[in-house]
Chain A
Amino acid sequence: QVQLVQSGAEVKKPGASVKVSCKASGYTFANYVIHWVRQAPGQRLEWMGWINAGNGNIKYSKKFQGRVTFTRDTSASTVYMDLSSLRSEDTAVYYCARDKERQPLMYYLDYWGQGTLVTVSS
């Protein structure tokens, strides 16, 4: 069955960076796009961008452009989200999620990771 398994919770100081991993299994990794979505406490879900696991193409939300980097390791069926210059407002649960459609990209998400809590605190 399709699974996305994320790395564990992180506590970071303001100004630091965090890297969250998302390991996929149960499907052909290179055939789908993975999105990143975050959920701050009491806030709505917020889309951060996507990475095409096959060809490595990337799109970032303007809000995070310049501060976020997506990468992938096809040999490990894993994608990564790196967020830099952390501030308290970045405290959130970060999710990876698979686009339901292979082509064209449709932006509705059928499988989600369990979430990774990133806490930014001095």
Chain B
Amino acid sequence: DIVMTQSPDSLAVSLGERATINCKSSQSVLHSANNKNYLAWYQQKQGQPPKLLIYWASTRESGVPNRISGSGSGTDFTLTISSLQAEDVAVYYCQQYYHLPSFGGGTKVEIK
């Protein structure tokens, strides 16, 4: 099984500042056949289901603001919110789908 580890567990960022969330997989999720990273990111606000933000490590889902971006390859990935807005307060999860899906432990983003 692929284990996903996120860091930090939580972070507090001022409005308008950058938030950076890290995700590390226990083995590479880069598929050599298509050179794609099998990695997604979700946002979960309090009392709501998760919302898909990013897939293939960097492809933004329709409707996701371009201040939210994903990067990385192999085993190390990053979700960046370039200019934090109040509506970005949530828990963020990474998920690999290289093998049967597994999720990271989540990173809680708050306003400083």
Contact = CB atoms under 8 A, between A and B. Distances in A.
B61 to A, nearest CB: 7
B74 interface: no
Interface in B65-108: 93, 95, 97, 100-106
A116 B76 CA distance: 33
Interface of A: 35, 44-47, 61, 95, 97, 100, 106-110, 112-115
Interface in B14-70: 38, 40, 42, 48-52, 55, 61
Nearest to A106: B97
Contacts of B50: 45, 95, 97, 109, 112
Contacts of B42: 109
Interface residues of B, number: 20
Given A45-B93, A100-B55, A109-B50, 10 more contacts: A44-B104, A44-B105, A95-B50, A97-B49, A106-B97, A107-B100, A108-B40, A108-B95, A110-B61, A112-B51
A46 B103 contact: yes
Interface of B: 38, 40, 42, 48-52, 55, 61, 93, 95, 97, 100-106
